[in-house]
Chain A
Amino acid sequence: MMKKAPPKATRDDSQASRRGLLKMLAALPASLMLASQISWAAPATSEVNTSGLAVTDDTVTVGILHSITGTMAISETGSVQAEKLAIEQINATGGVLGRQIEYIQEDGASDWPTFAEKSKKLLVNDKVAAVFGCWTSASRKAVLPVFEQYNGMLYYPTFYEGLEQSPNVIYTGQEATQQIIAGIDWVVKEKGAKSFYLLGSDYIWPRTSNKIARKHIEKLGLKVVGEEYYPLGHTQFNSVINKIKLRKPDVIYAIVVGGSNVAFYKQLKAAGIDLTKEKPLLLTISVTEDEILGIGGENIDGAYAAMKYFQSLDNPNNEAFVKAFKERWGDDIVIGDVTQAAYLGPWLWKAAVEKAGSFDIDKVRAASPGIELTTAPEGYVRIHENHHLWSKTRVGLAQPDGQYKVVYESEDLIEPNPFPEGYQ
């Protein structure tokens, strides 16, 4: 059993030296340091833990539940790194209610029942105070009944399709409407787009997202000229590229995921569609900096992405975050939207616990709505009544070096709306 931090050195762990850790501490944002000055006179365990969680006088145990083996390990690695970094930073600044966070990491192995099984282990056997984890919707759906039954708290980092609002989950990524509507509004207003070709991998997130996109496009009086889905892992996109050439949309709205992404963008480029010419323009909500590593920056140069975070965001919080992240996990690492959202999880939990003055799940839940984070790399975020985050949406332009250049940022925080009326 993998017990307590620090865990066995994984490949990633070993990259970081102890010196790196010290440097990282030095790089903590000033505001965080300030927060640590107000040291909590650690309250008695019996007060902060009335429900038998794994809390001692100087430690509190949380769980990290991601796939580190199997097909999803590609995507989930970044989230694990971000969560560990956040936990280490919190510990370095005095922990939560005077207690150091220890974590138990479990492997979901890209297999949904394994996720359910491990989450149950974390909640029932290990009595963790919170779980940071899951990536795919399927894994979240699999663990959800477990969290509701055993009353756990899950911090879920991925942008997802919405249509869910559980008292036992805090969704730190964006739900579909937040990501989609602002992006489409931008492309219509700034680029004068009139017609769209919707394309996605065949599962719930792309389908639901495209549905919202279609409704919104049609509301604006514009046209969807094609909508198409390919099985996960599909590697031949020449036919759909031909169809796109035939229908001549202004915008390709692509929600292709995983390995298919690489095939799609390489073949798009090979077919002579130069994205930098914006004819057609490509807007995606599924390609973060992480994915570009595999696709290759030169193959996706000129594409636009709509999401809430890009590594290149220019603000002091983000600079400190990127610096700390690289010092902890290596210089060549990239940080995508989900990685940043995963980083928010432990911080949001800490804030909620301190507001509640207790680790008890019910009290943390009651305290969660309204929790603000001014130190988030993406800027200011706040937890909504519906357990999602208020957040801004940005549009980034993919650069050949694999980074996005931010070309637009929504003025206000966008309200999360997991059950959007009129979009279903």
Chain B
Amino acid sequence: MFAEYTASELTAIFAMQGFAGLILFSVLVLMALGLAIIFGQMGVINMAHGEFMILGAYVTYLTSNLFSEYMPSLFDGYFFVAMAMAFLVTFLLGMLVEWGLIRHLYKRPLDTLLATWGLSLILQQIYRSVFGAREVGVTLPDWMMGSYPLTDMVEVPINGIFVMVLTLVISIGIYFLMFRSRWGKQVRAVVQNRPMAGAVGINTEKVDRLTFGIGCGIAGIAGSAFTMIGSTGPTSGQLYIVDTFLVVVFGGAQSLLGTIASAFTISQAQSTMEFFLSGSMAKVLTLLFVVGILMLRPQGLFALKIRR
């Protein structure tokens, strides 16, 4: 299929395709990180993850309206405010949900799945009642749209770079939070041995609530960022849920590094296949590939080798 193209065209295309894969990679990481924290560290299956993302998107939408209404001069920078707001709102909702729902269910992980599914239905209907059934259009500042031409052929989408940088920042942030902070140490202690952690004076309930809140908050940031590339509607969140869970499970649930590695594998596999095959088949093959590997290696790519 490449016979009719010149070498420079091919290089350009491979560069761009590689870049597309990287963007997809960032998107998947961003989607999955919040879930990886909640699912991997707490064992809670949060089926409402997608709805938390969409909440972030709606917050972004509201912030953008607010800015264009009252502070049009600052519109260029609203997105950063929006992301902070999105984090805050989803973080608080996450804590509330943990308090009202999740904390009763730590012993029954499969039941968290059902309860959060119920939560996701309720959230969807709330969005529909508040924002209407139609999708809302989030206006982005001009500088975020468009692309930066690297060469004649190769153009780099600015929002892609934005997502990549954001992912990098958040990943590093989480790394420090989990592995270099007191809170992270507590989370890991609680994950490894709850009664013992409690016995040495860690307030496990507080740690749980914060962990869940932060996981949801990251989902909110992801949702905010996805207004650049996707749609914002009451049911948009459901589009992400399967992919997100697969990324986390494929990576090995308790390993954040695993999540990143699996996002990389899946994104590269998918974007390569999308280039050579038609879109639907690429999707099917990617999913099959992931499920196949999971059957051979059920613990995922990275498993913590701990005796329990």
Contacts and interface: CB of A to CB of B under 8 A. Distances in A.
Whether A and B touch directly in their complex, counting CB atoms under 8 A apart, is answered as yes
B74 interface: no
Nearest to A248: B9
Contacts of A409: none
B135 A293 contact: yes
A25 B306 CA distance: 75
A314 interface: no
Interface string A165-180: 0000000000000000
A262 B146 contact: no
A266 interface: yes
Interface in B140-182: 140, 145-147, 149, 153, 155, 157-160
A290 interface: yes
B128 interface: yes
Given A231-B283, A235-B229, A70 B20 contact: no
B298 interface: no
A298 B139 CA distance: 8
A261 B155 CA distance: 22
B274 A239 contact: yes
Contact of B128 (A69, A233, A262): A69
Contacts of B147: 270-272
A74 B233 contact: yes
A228 B230 CA distance: 20
B33 to A, nearest CB: 18
A294 B134 contact: yes
Contacts of B129: 11
A151 interface: no
A240 B274 contact: yes
Contacts of B27: 236
A243 B1 CA distance: 12
Nearest to A230: B279
A238 to B, nearest CB: 3
Contacts of A73: 128, 133, 234
Interface string A21-35: 000000000000000
Contacts of A279: none
A269 B229 contact: no
A193 interface: no
B9 A246 contact: yes
A259 B274 contact: no
A336 to B, nearest CB: 11
Contacts of B240: 235
Contacts of A293: 134-137
B16 A242 contact: yes
B137 to A, nearest CB: 4
Nearest to A243: B275
B153 A262 contact: no
A357 interface: no
Interface in A208-260: 227-231, 233-236, 238-243, 245-246, 258-260
Nearest to B274: A239
Contacts of A245: 13, 16, 153
A202 interface: yes
B23 A238 contact: yes
A234 B233 CA distance: 14
Interface residues of A, number: 47
A242 B17 contact: yes
Contacts, number: 145
Contacts of A69: 125, 128
Nearest to A238: B20
A354 to B, nearest CB: 34
B243 to A, nearest CB: 9
B295 to A, nearest CB: 23
A307 B230 CA distance: 25
Nearest to B281: A229
Interface in B232-250: 232-236, 238-240
Interface size class of B (residues with CB under 8 A): 35 or more
A259 B231 contact: yes
B235 A71 contact: yes
Contacts of B271: 236, 238-239
Interface string B102-138: 0000000000000000000000010011001111111
Nearest to B148: A272
A229 B278 contact: yes
Contacts of B228: 266, 270
A65 to B, nearest CB: 16
Contacts of B70: none
Contacts of A294: 134-137, 231-233
B253 to A, nearest CB: 24
A242 B271 CA distance: 11
Interface in B5-48: 5, 9, 13, 16-17, 19-20, 23-24, 27
Contacts of A267: 157, 229
B280 interface: yes
B157 A272 contact: yes
Contacts of B128: 69, 73
Which of B226, B231, B283 gathers most chain A CB within 10 Å? B231
A119 to B, nearest CB: 21
Nearest to A258: B231
Given A272-B147, A272-B157, A290 B134 contact: yes
A229 B17 contact: no
Interface in A89-141: none
A51 to B, nearest CB: 36
Interface string B73-100: 0000000000000000000000000000
A233 B135 contact: no
Contact of B132 (A11, A234, A292): A11
Contact of A270 (B5, B146, B226, B283): B146
Contacts of A236: 24, 27, 229, 270-271, 274
A227 B5 CA distance: 19
A268 to B, nearest CB: 10
A261 B133 contact: no
Contacts of A234: 279, 283
19 contacts: A71-B235, A74-B235, A202-B280, A233-B239, A235-B231, A238-B157, A239-B17, A239-B282, A243-B275, A263-B229, A270-B145, A271-B147, A272-B157, A292-B137, A293-B134, A293-B136, A294-B232, A295-B137, A296-B140
Given A228-B279, A246-B13, A259-B235, 16 more contacts: A73-B128, A77-B134, A229-B280, A231-B280, A235-B226, A238-B157, A240-B279, A241-B20, A245-B153, A269-B145, A270-B145, A271-B147, A271-B155, A295-B137, A296-B138, A297-B137
